[in-house]
């Protein structure tokens, strides 16, 4: 009796579980990414859900969360989270050190902020980086803005990283957009023909709803693919130039120059 019940149930559920929801009749590959963490309480919950739902994802972690590196005892649980991410099949990318909008800063500061997390995270990082706000990665019709963007993107590339933006922005940080987040994301997946989806693992709202969203995407028939499906380089180790010790020297030298000038002004 029980068996018949399950068979009937699966027949009823199956057609909706595999239907192609996009207007073109197709389903698409997607990849979830989580920025700004790790968060000691929320990120473990995200990891639990991703494990249970078998969804390989990428975490773009902020370098400043690891100030002092492994020598700082307070970082131990954060490094444990990175170990867990790796063990559970996720990729870890750099979100740079401080959460700044890079085109607004000098070339020296941009370089410093991009290079600074690398020695702290070298055992974990894939050669992928996402600039905070995507700042520097967009095209601009203003030549001055474009020149600044070019400088930022060249620094990312010279450091050995591939910049990874997003195809679908869920705006999960924006309370006004939250009521329509799921239908908007599903529509965007169809419109963009799948791709990289942006979330933040420091948002409780995101963590509270993540499982439902994953199941909704699966119900539409879309598939979750690892980062290397979209960025093949993500599977490679971090190149040595990302952690070159002398990469910081020009920045330090420049600082010294500035300090000397300030000293002179004082005198
Ligand atoms: Zn961010």
CATH number of the domain at 152, please.
3.20.20.370
Tokens coding 201: 């693992």
Q: What distance in angstroms lies between residue 34's CA and the mean position of ligand 1's atoms? A: 9
Question: What is the pTM for the complete model shown?
Answer: 0.86
Tokens coding 203: 């948002």
Task: Give the per-residue pLDDT at 94.
Answer: 98
Q: What distance in angstroms lies between residue 91's CA and the mean position of ligand 1's atoms? A: 16
- The answer to whether position 198 is within a domain reads yes
- The answer to whether position 203 is within a domain reads yes
> Helical H runs in 116-230?
117-121, 143-158, 181-191, 204-219, 227-230
Q: What distance in angstroms lies between residue 265's CA and the mean position of ligand 1's atoms? A: 38
The answer to whether the CB of 135 falls within 8 A of the CB of 103 is: yes
Question: Helix or strand or coil: residue 67?
Answer: coil
Q: What distance in angstroms lies between residue 172's CA and the mean position of ligand 1's atoms? A: 12
Residues of the chain whose pLDDT is less than 70? 1-20, 245-267
The answer to whether the CB of 164 falls within 8 A of the CB of 130 is: yes
Cα angle: 66, vertex 70, 72; to 5 degrees: 75
The pLDDT tens digits of the residues spanning 202-257 come to 999 999 999 999 999 999 999 999 999 999 999 999 998 899 855 555 555 455 55
Structural domain boundaries, residue 170: 31-262
Task: Give the per-residue pLDDT at 244.
Answer: 81
Q: Which CA distances in Å does 225 have to 42, 69, 192? A: 23, 31, 15
- Who's near 106: CB < 8 A, 6+ residues apart? none
- The answer to whether position 14 is within a domain reads no
Q: What distance in angstroms lies between residue 135's CA and the mean position of ligand 1's atoms? A: 10
Q: What distance in angstroms lies between residue 6's CA and the mean position of ligand 1's atoms? A: 45
Number of structural domains in the chain? 1
- The answer to whether position 91 is within a domain reads yes
Q: What distance in angstroms lies between residue 132's CA and the mean position of ligand 1's atoms? A: 4
The answer to whether the CB of 118 falls within 8 A of the CB of 168 is: no
146 CB-side CA count, 13 A: 5
Computed on alpha carbons and rounded to an integer, the radius of gyration of the chain in Å comes to: 21
Q: What distance in angstroms lies between residue 261's CA and the mean position of ligand 1's atoms? A: 34
Task: Give the per-residue pLDDT at 123.
Answer: 94
- The answer to whether position 8 is within a domain reads no
């Amino acid at each position: 009796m029980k068996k018949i019940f399950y068979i009937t149930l699966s027949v009823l559920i199956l057609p909706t579980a595999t239907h192609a929801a996009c207007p073109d009749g197709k389903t698409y590959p997607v990849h979830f990414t989580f920025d700004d963490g790790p968060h000691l309480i929320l990120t473990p919950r995200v990891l639990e859900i991703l494990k249970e739902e078998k969804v390989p994802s990428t975490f773009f972690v902020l370098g400043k969360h690891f100030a002092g590196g492994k020598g700082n005892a307070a970082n131990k649980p954060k490094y444990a989270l990175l170990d867990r991410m790796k063990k559970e099949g996720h990729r870890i990318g750099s979100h740079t050190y401080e959460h700044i909008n890079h085109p607004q800063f000098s070339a020296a500061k941009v370089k410093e902020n991009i290079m600074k997390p690398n020695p702290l995270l070298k055992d974990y990082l894939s050669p992928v980086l996402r600039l905070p706000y995507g700042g520097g990665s967009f095209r601009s019709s203003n030549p001055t803005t474009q020149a600044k963007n070019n400088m930022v993107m060249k620094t990312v590339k010279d450091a050995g990283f591939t910049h990874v933006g997003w195809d679908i922005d869920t705006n999960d940080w924006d309370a006004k957009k939250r009521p329509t987040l799921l239908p908007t994301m599903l529509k965007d997946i169809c419109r963009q023909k799948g791709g990289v989806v942006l979330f933040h693992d420091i948002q409780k709202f995101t963590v509270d709803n993540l499982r439902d969203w994953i199941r909704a995407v699966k119900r539409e028939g879309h598939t979750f693919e690892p980062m290397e499906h979209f960025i093949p380089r993500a599977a490679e180790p971090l190149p040595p130039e990302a952690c070159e010790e002398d990469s910081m020297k020009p920045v330090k030298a420049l600082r010294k120059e500035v300090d000397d000038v300030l000293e002179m002004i004082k005198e």
